[in-house]
Chain A
């Protein structure tokens, strides 16, 4: 199985900050990496697919990069609605594991 490790597990930031979340795969997954946002009590929402492609309707302040084993999700200027938990997920092979999540909190 390919394991996904996110860092940090939690993060405090302020509105307007630039934030980066990292996801590392236990082996190379090329660009088979997706990012999801989840707010409390809600279903996950797709943000980024194939490591760097922005899902339709997602604000351009979200971006993704990386390939192989190391990936990042960047929010260029945090907005109040961005405080949530973020998950990476590999789709290279089954089982398609998720990372443990990064909780983004208001400072």
Chain B
């Protein structure tokens, strides 16, 4: 079964750090690009970051650039999101999502269940 399982969420104070992990199984992780997408309480979906299959190409949303770092370990079938200088507005459920490529079209076809990050004093 194709599966993504996030972990690492929790309560952190403003200015603190947290590292999220996403464990992949059931598919060849090293062949797929990956994303982090978040959803603040009661709000819509916000794309956060993208990493290519090799890790050589990375993109960030402006809202997290300079504070968050995406990475992956293909040997461990794992995706990570290092979050530093956290703010209250980073409070959200964080999802990892697999990117699927069909000719030139990308879409997120597999999602994890999410991990909750709460930034509060």
Using CB atoms and an 8 Å cutoff, list the residues of chain A in contact with chain B: 31-32, 34, 36, 38, 42-46, 49-50, 53, 55, 87, 89, 91, 94-101
Once A94-B59, A98-B44, A98-B45 are accepted as A-B contacts, the answer to whether A53 and B50 lie under 8 Å apart by CB is: no
CA distance A101 to B59 in the complex (A): 23
Q: Could you say which residues of chain B place their CB within 8 Å of the CB of A95?
A: 47, 59, 61-62
User: CB-CB < 8 A to A55: which residues of B?
Assistant: 109
A49 to B104, CA, bound (A): 11
Mostly, the A contact residues are loop
Q: A34-B107, A98-B45 are in contact. List 12 more A-B contacts (CB 8 A).
A: A32-B106, A34-B108, A42-B113, A44-B95, A44-B111, A46-B108, A49-B100, A49-B109, A50-B105, A91-B105, A91-B107, A95-B62
**Chain B interfacial positions (CB closer than 8 Å to A):** 35, 37, 44-47, 50, 59, 61-62, 95, 97, 100, 102, 105-109, 111-114
Least CB distance from A19 to B in Å reads: 19
Chain A hits for B111, CB < 8 A: 43-45
Q: B109 to A53, Cβ gap below 8 A?
A: no
Q: How many A-B residue pairs have CB under 8 A?
A: 62
- A42 to B, closest residue via Cβ: B113
Which residues in A have their C-beta under 8 angstroms from that of B105? 31-32, 49-50, 91
Partner of B44, one of A31, A43, A53, A99: A99
A46 touches B44 (CB 8 A): no
Q: How far is the CB of B28 from chain A (nearest CB, A)?
A: 18
Residues of A within 8 A of B47 (CB): 89, 95-98
Chain A hits for B114, CB < 8 A: 43
Residue on B nearest A96 in the bound complex, by CB: B47
A44: chain B residues within 8 A (beta carbon): 37, 45, 95, 97, 108, 111
Q: How far is the CA of A46 from the CA of B99 in the complex (A)?
A: 11
Q: Lowest 8 A-B CB distances belong to which pairs?
A: A49-B107, A43-B111, A50-B105, A91-B106, A98-B45, A34-B107, A101-B44, A94-B59
